[in-house]
Chains A and B, each alone.
Chain A
Amino acid sequence: MRQLAAIALLFLLALPSQAANIQVRLIRASNDSGKAETCLADIHGKLKEKFGYKFYQQLGVRQQPLKMGEKLQLDLGEKFQVFVTPKSSDKRQQELELEWYSGKTLLVRSIVKIVENGHLFVKGPEVANDWIVLAVSVRN
């Protein structure tokens, strides 16, 4: 009986209650070995699988807590900005409106549903032999 009560208590305590954070990274995909960075080790495999380049350089990164209905402005450098507006959320999934700007030009606008530890990659402009990629993820 006590064990059952303990299981029930653990079950209730396991319910998530933390605020989610959004992390946005500006990445340059390249075959130039000088652009390899260890800070992208967590997504390097996924980037390589999706875009094929061998090396990835992080040009900028921003992380902020999400607040329902509040539009976040994330400056990533190189005049790139990302605006994020949480539309809805539940325990595991966030619905976000994303706007990726270069200067005053809106490159792409999207509504995505993203889960904790999921990733959204946006392939952007091409610079020399490289690509500019935006990586968006949600963490608790």
Chain B
Amino acid sequence: MKQHNTERLSALADGELKGINRWLARRHVRHCPQCATEFARIERVRETLAACPPVVEMSDSADFFWSKIRREIAAREQETISIPMPRLSLADWLQVNRGILATVTSALVVVAGSLLMLQQPNAAHPGAVMVERVDTVIPNTVATPLKGSESDVAVIWVSGLEWTPDLDQMRECFDNIET
């Protein structure tokens, strides 16, 4: 019951609501001060009416009868009525403050994204391959890092290695090198 509905409150007070409808209406009355007040008023009227059962035969005149009613109402107006104060649950609070929740969630996503961005290495070149150090121990040989236009490829150029006519001689050649 999302809106204030006096007819529904009357139905609740009269015991006409059953099952889930009755549960929902009671729950709403517990959490809505406006409907709680209205419900208390209806209950008071019901009690007042119940306390004055209809008399089949009226022995009094109409004026006297209404004066008794007014007196009764005046007497009962002094009674204190306790109205239940609503207590909002977390779910109710979130339902009411959707905007705040959306803002907080967005802020958390932005902060988490920013932190991840800051943790990325080498932010200026996120996809770079870099040769930090290179050397060779073979005499008369030089190893040089080359950097091309592509950031995802790096080349180390080892020059000065002995030329061989085939793979077998190459293996033999490197086996005999003294470093």
Binding site for B on A (CB under 8 A): 1, 4-5, 7-8, 11-12, 15, 46, 49-50, 78-79, 90-93, 95, 102-115, 117-128, 132
Contacts and interface: CB of A to CB of B under 8 A. Distances in A.
Interface stretch (B34-42, B43-51, B57-65, B168-176): B168-176
Interface in B107-135: 108-109, 112-113, 116, 119-122, 126-135
A7 B135 contact: no
A118 B13 CA distance: 75
B132 A8 contact: no
B121 to A, nearest CB: 5
Nearest to A132: B170
B167 A78 contact: yes
- Size category of the B interface is 35 or more
A93 B131 CA distance: 13
Contacts of A119: 129, 152-154
A98 to B, nearest CB: 9
Contact of B129 (A50, A90, A104, A113): A113
B136 A95 contact: no
Contacts, number: 153
B105 A4 contact: yes
Given A1-B102, A105-B174, A109-B135, A120 B129 contact: yes
Contact of B161 (A4, A112, A126): A126
B171 A107 contact: no
Which applies to chain B's interface (DSSP): helix, strand, loop or mixed? mixed
Contact of A103 (B131, B155, B171): B171
Contacts of B162: 125
B67 interface: no
Contacts of B138: 105-107
B5 interface: no
A121 B152 contact: no
Greatest chain A CB density within 10 A among B116, B126, B134 is at B134
A122 B109 contact: no
Contact of B136 (A91, A92, A107, A126): A107
A30 to B, nearest CB: 12
A111 B113 CA distance: 31
Contact of B134 (A8, A109, A126): A109
Given A106-B137, A112-B132, A121 B153 contact: yes
A104 B175 CA distance: 7
A102 B138 CA distance: 12
Given A8-B108, A50-B153, A125-B161, A118 B133 contact: no
B177 interface: yes
A121 B174 contact: no
